């Protein structure tokens, strides 16, 4: 029996990432997480997900921000090997503006900046001789992105096009740059920071009651010209079109499929919807 992979979380207080983390801890996985205020994350896991102190003992919280290189390093390598799977749920806070694009973020490049920080930390660790996990491999990065930014096929209903391509233009530019950085960092070269990636693209997120992973429809495509999916020429069946999905169920899917069934989804951009 193989041991469970070790996990690292960024943006762990977010709805999707916290749901993923809670499920992993309940199932006995060991994880590290970055948090500006560790007590906020602990209280969230205790109050919302009803985690006991015994379950929380599997979690190490590193205090700091994504711009703190030393803190990011501690999350990725506790202590002498890299974690097996990195989950990034970092996202920005929406802000209304009086411009042609009415919705921006308080930090319009937060996803791009966070990804640069994670990849830079991995490269610095490699320079120090910490380049692989305990099994001798490089880590896989699972990131939470969005539908509406595919270069291959339409992945949102036509009626949502104005919302996605006008109202949410600024946040989507940030998500797209984030995806590009992750794909480039897992290009299969000897100096690649990552072994592979899973880009999770949920439809419009809600805080509705959990419906269960069985209710989640998942479609997938490869990223642009990327052909490292298992069948080299297979660009995928395409995305699943839908309107909304709950954060709890996105987190549930990431745990049940992205973490527990990682190899099936490596190198794929996965759209999730009800």
pLDDT of res. 232: 44
**pLDDT averaged over consecutive 10-residue blocks of the chain (274 residues)?**
85 97 97 97 96 96 96 95 97 71 75 97 97 96 95 86 76 92 93 96 94 96 65 72 96 98 95 98
pLDDT of res. 126: 97
Residue linked to tokens 């001798």: 136
E strand or H helix at 255, and its extent?
Answer: none
Q: How far apart, in whole angstroms, are the C-alpha atoms of residue 94 and residue 255?
A: 26
Q: What DSSP string runs through 174-230?
A: HHHHHHHHHHHTTSSSTT-S-SEEEEEEESEEE-PPP--GGG-EEEEE--TT---SS
What is each CA distance from 261 to 4, 5, 47, in whole angstroms? 12, 11, 28
| pTM, to two decimals | 0.92
What are the structure tokens assigned to 222, written together?
Answer: 């490869």
Q: Which fold has domain 7-273?
A: Rossmann fold (3.40.50)
What are the structure tokens assigned to 221, written together?
Answer: 């495509």
Residue linked to tokens 């490596």: 266
């Amino acid at each position: 029996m193989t041991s469970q992979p070790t996990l690292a979380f960024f943006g762990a207080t977010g709805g999707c990432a916290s749901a993923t983390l809670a499920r992993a801890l309940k199932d006995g996985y060991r994880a590290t997480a970055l948090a500006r205020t560790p007590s906020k994350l602990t209280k969230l896991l205790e109050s919302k997900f009803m985690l006991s102190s015994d379950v929380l003992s599997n979690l190490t919280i590193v205090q700091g921000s994504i711009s703190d290189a030393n803190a990011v390093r501690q999350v990725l390598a506790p202590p002498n090997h890299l974690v097996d799977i990195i989950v990034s749920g970092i996202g920005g806070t929406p802000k209304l503006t009086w411009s042609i694009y009415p919705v921006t973020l308080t930090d319009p490049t937060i996803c791009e900046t966070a990804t640069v920080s994670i990849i830079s930390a991995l490269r610095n660790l490699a320079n120090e001789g910490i380049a692989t996990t305990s099994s001798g491999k490089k880590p896989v990065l699972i990131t939470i992105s969005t539908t509406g930014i595919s270069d291959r096929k339409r992945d949102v209903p036509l009626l949502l096009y104005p919302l996605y391509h006008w109202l949410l233009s600024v946040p989507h530019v940030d998500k797209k740059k984030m995806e590009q950085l992750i794909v480039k960092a897992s290009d299969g070269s000897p100096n690649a920071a990552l072994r592979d990636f899973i880009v999770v693209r949920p439809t419009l997120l809600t805080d509705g009651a959990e419906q269960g992973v069985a209710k989640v429809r998942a479609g997938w495509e490869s990223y642009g010209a990327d052909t490292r999916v298992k069948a080299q020429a297979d660009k995928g069946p395409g995305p699943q079109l839908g309107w909304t999905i709950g954060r709890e169920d996105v987190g549930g899917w990431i745990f049940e499929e992205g973490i527990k069934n990682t190899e099936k989804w490596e190198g794929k951009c996965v759209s999730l919807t009800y």
